[in-house]
């Protein structure tokens, strides 16, 4: 056997390919149209029905456009559902630009504090490389959103509408990242030259003023007070003056986001079930801590999501959206037959995909319904996305329960649905995962 690919080996491969009629047909179709255009199994459309035994009604579909704010959009879609029910609203959205401003500012502070905590790390250490890679990316998790609204509240979209930059964040992120990496260099050099911690923090505050300036120029200043005007579903006009973002949140939404906790399903050997976890260096609002999860088996993970939906409340969830799914709104392991197209099998388990870097949470959406079969078990889920009305069926996706089991990693559940044993495990001091653990991925 040879170490290299030889001419004889290539000839063997080509002959085997050319002698197979199915290969030749697949090749012609894929070269002409691309693999993705020809792998959809049309028969699955008869199974993946857009009807659900439990279905919550949302008002309108949101669109994050060219930004990675899915976690914010999903969280605000969850909150606006409750607000619409409470206040009998019609079409309504919360401002997605408002928390974006403060998330970038808080992430910048979080990053600079992490730099101060790792001043002795070599410049090319894995830890420092990780911190420098993407200090203010758009992605996030539920606990990070909860920290933001606890500190800053929220505002209606009318008080801080979308802008070009909020919907197209790449350039802004690039220049904030450039500045923060330079700031990290200056802080580390000052430390080497003997600067004390107090002086380094003075430098940090001056650095944050520059980040604030970039954000204010790019997004506009967030409102500190505003008037909320709206019509309810009956057309009656309402006006509420002199609101602050926090008073608006407390009056019109009133949900304590910290009453909702992140449940993960990570069936890898290094993360035993019924334990709580956090991720080193992951978070945004420094004084509120980072993230925390409870790892549960899939049957309990699934049951909690169903119970919350049956009780009339949506469920924020995080998944690997690019796996066996498409923009037409189907998330189904059997719908996209790349195995048949290429004549191969994909045999890794969920745990193996996590261990071998094939899958992690990439996107957050909202469960707005579930279909329970005659035995009471879910077979498909109704998913509210934030990619606009042209994605899926009017913005909604259908997710099979098999897909849910394999590629959903996180659901956010009110504490009241957990058993005493589950809650007791969550409340324990969490085990700390490495910064690069797949459970530390950010949904965007």
How confident is the chain (444 residues) per 10-residue block, as mean pLDDT?
Answer: 92 96 94 91 88 95 97 98 96 97 98 98 97 98 97 98 98 98 98 98 98 98 98 96 98 96 98 98 96 98 98 98 93 94 96 98 98 97 97 96 98 98 98 98 96
Catalytic residue among 265, 284, 363, 379: 363
What pLDDT is attached to residue 108? 98
What pLDDT is attached to residue 124? 94
What pLDDT is attached to residue 149? 97
What pLDDT is attached to residue 1? 79
Q: What does the DSSP assignment read for 109-131?
A: HHHHHHHHHTTTS-TT-HHHHHH
Task: Give a yes or no: residue 428 inside a domain.
Answer: yes
Query: In terms of C-beta density within 10 A (0-12 exposed, 13-18 middle, 19 or more buried), how is residue 42 classed?
Result: exposed
The first and second tokens of residue 255, run together, are: 């949900």
The range of the structural domain enclosing residue 204 comes to 54-440
Active site residue 238: no
User: Which residue carries 């911690």 as its tokens?
Assistant: 197
Task: Give a yes or no: residue 18 inside a domain.
Answer: no
Task: Give a yes or no: residue 26 inside a domain.
Answer: no
- CATH number, domain with residue 114: 3.90.70.10
What pLDDT is attached to residue 389? 95
pTM attached to this predicted model = 0.96
Structural domains in the chain (count): 1
241 phi, psi to nearest 5 deg: -105, 165
Task: Give a yes or no: residue 32 inside a domain.
Answer: no
Tell me the C-alpha distance between 442 and 120, whole Å.
Answer: 27
Tell me the C-alpha distance between 207 and 69, whole Å.
Answer: 25
Catalytic residue among 70, 114, 319, 379: 70
Catalytic residue among 114, 265, 295, 385: 385
Instruction: Give the single-character DSSP code of 66.
Output: B
Task: Give a yes or no: residue 1 inside a domain.
Answer: no
For the chain, the 3-state helix, strand and coil shares in percent, each to the nearest 5, are 45, 20, 35
The first and second tokens of residue 122, run together, are: 């070599």
Task: Give a yes or no: residue 119 inside a domain.
Answer: yes
Active site residue 363: yes
What pLDDT is attached to residue 46? 87
Task: Give a yes or no: residue 20 inside a domain.
Answer: no
Task: Give a yes or no: residue 36 inside a domain.
Answer: no
| Residues in CB range of 332: below 8 A, 6 or more apart | 44, 47, 48, 324, 325, 398, 399, 400, 402, 403
At 304-362, the pLDDT tens digits run 999 999 999 999 999 999 999 988 999 999 999 999 999 999 999 999 999 999 999 99
Active site residue 385: yes
């Amino acid at each position: 056997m040879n170490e290299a690919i030889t001419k004889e080996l290539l000839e063997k491969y080509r002959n085997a390919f050319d002698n197979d009629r199915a290969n030749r047909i697949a090749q012609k179709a894929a070269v002409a149209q691309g693999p993705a255009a020809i792998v959809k199994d049309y028969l699955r459309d008869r199974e993946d029905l857009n009807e659900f035994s439990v279905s919550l009604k949302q008002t309108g579909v949101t669109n994050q456009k060219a930004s990675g704010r899915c976690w914010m959009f999903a969280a605000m879609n969850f909150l606006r559902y409750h607000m619409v029910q409470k206040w009998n609203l019609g079409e309504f959205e919360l401002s997605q630009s408002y928390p974006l401003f403060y998330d970038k500012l808080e992430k910048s502070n979080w990053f600079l504090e992490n730099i101060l905590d790792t001043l002795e790390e070599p410049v090319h250490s894995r830890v420092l490389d990780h911190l420098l890679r993407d200090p203010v990316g758009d992605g996030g998790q539920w606990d990070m959103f909860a920290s933001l609204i606890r500190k800053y509240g929220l505002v209606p979209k009318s008080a801080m509408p979308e802008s070009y930059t909020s919907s197209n964040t790449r350039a802004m992120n690039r220049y904030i990242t450039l500045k923060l990496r330079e700031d990290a260099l200056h802080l580390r050099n000052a430390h080497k030259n003997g600067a004390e911690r107090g002086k380094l923090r003075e430098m940090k505050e001056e650095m944050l003023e520059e980040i604030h300036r970039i954000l204010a120029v790019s997004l506009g200043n967030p409102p500190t007070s505003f008037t909320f005007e709206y019509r309810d579903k009956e057309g009656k006009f309402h006006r509420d003056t002199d609101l602050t973002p926090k008073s608006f949140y407390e009056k019109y939404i009133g949900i304590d986001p910290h009453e909702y906790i992140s449940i993960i399903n990570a069936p890898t050997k290094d993360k035993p079930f019924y334990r709580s976890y956090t991720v080193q260096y992951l978070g945004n609002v420094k004084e509120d801590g980072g993230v925390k999860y409870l790892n549960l088996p899939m049957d309990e993970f699934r049951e909690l999501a169903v119970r919350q939906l049956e009780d009339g409340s949506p469920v924020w969830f995080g998944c690997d959206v690019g796996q066996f799914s498409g923009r037409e709104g189907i998330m189904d392991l059997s719908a996209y037959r790349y195995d048949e197209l290429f004549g191969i099998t994909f045999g890794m388990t969920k745990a193996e995909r996590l261990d071998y870097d094939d899958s992690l949470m990439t996107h957050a959406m909202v469960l707005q319904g579930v279909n329970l079969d005659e035995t009471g078990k879910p077979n498909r889920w109704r998913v509210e996305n934030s990619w606009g009305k042209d994605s899926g069926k009017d913005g909604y996706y259908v997710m099979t329960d098999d897909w849910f089991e394999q590629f959903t990693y996180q659901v956010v559940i009110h504490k009241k649905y957990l058993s005493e044993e589950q809650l007791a495990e969550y409340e324990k001091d969490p085990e700390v995962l490495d910064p690069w653990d797949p459970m530390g991925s950010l949904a965007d």
